[in-house]
């Protein structure tokens, strides 16, 4: 019993010390940005026009651990397009990096400004998401 305790105590001490100085346990805060990210966690939706469909329904899910899922359903066009990624925030600005099929982040992150329950598009690839971006409302 003493042997197990001797191994356990240094591990606990390292974790506590690492947490207090920004060590291993602080990785989640760095992943999703500094400050209060909880205001962004949740599900957002938007109904937008589409060039070659009756419209599109956009759903964005932001999880507390920094993962994101963007789902685009083109109305009358079959299965939805589901993209995975990660998100982080700085102040009232949200950035979502979606992953390419090979697992690398895309070159053009989606950036929004939070205003109440609305995500207002700030920066996006206009070739992919259109001239108005993806304005979304928290459910």
| 22 plus 43 within the same structural domain | no
pLDDT at 100: 82
One domain for residues 15 and 67: no
Same domain for 79 and 15, yes or no, is no
Q: What CATH number is given to the structural domain containing 131?
A: 2.40.128.640
On whether both 72 and 129 belong to a single domain, the answer is: yes
- Cβ-in-10-Å burial (0-12, 13-18, 19+) of 62 comes to buried
> Is 36 found in the same domain as 82?
yes
Residue 34 predicted with pLDDT over 70: no
Residues 47 and 16 in one domain: no
Give the mean pLDDT of 58-80: 96
pLDDT tens sequence across 16-31: 333 334 434 333 444 4
Same domain? For 23 and 55 the reply is: no
Confidence of residue 103 (pLDDT cuts 50, 70, 90): confident
Domain membership of residue 20 as a residue range: 1-28
The verdict on 7 and 59 lying in the same domain is no
Given a cut of 70, is residue 81 above it in pLDDT?
A: yes
Domain co-membership, 44 together with 74:
yes
* pLDDT of 37: 81
18 and 37 share a domain?
A: no
Report the number of distinct structural domains present in the chain. Answer: 2
Model confidence at 58: pLDDT above 70: yes
49 in the same domain as 2 = no
Q: Does residue 102 have a pLDDT over 90?
A: no
Q: How confident is the model at residue 35 (pLDDT cuts 50, 70, 90)?
A: low
16 and 64 part of one domain: no
CA pair distance 73, 79, nearest whole angstrom: 7
């Amino acid at each position: 019993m003493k042997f197990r305790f001797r191994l356990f105590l240094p591990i606990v001490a390292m974790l506590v010390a690492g947490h207090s100085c920004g060590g291993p346990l602080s990785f989640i805060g760095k992943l999703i940005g500094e400050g209060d990210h909880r205001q962004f966690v949740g599900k957002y939706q938007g109904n937008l026009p589409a060039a070659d469909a009756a419209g599109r329904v956009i759903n964005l899910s932001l999880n507390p651990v920094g993962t994101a899922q963007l789902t685009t359903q083109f109305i009358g066009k079959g299965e939805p397009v589901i993209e995975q990624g990660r998100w982080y925030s700085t102040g009232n600005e949200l950035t979502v990096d979606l992953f390419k099929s090979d697992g690398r982040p895309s070159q053009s992150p989606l950036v929004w400004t939070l205003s109440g329950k609305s995500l207002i598009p700030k920066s996006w690839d206009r070739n992919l998401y259109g001239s108005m971006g993806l304005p979304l409302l928290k459910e």
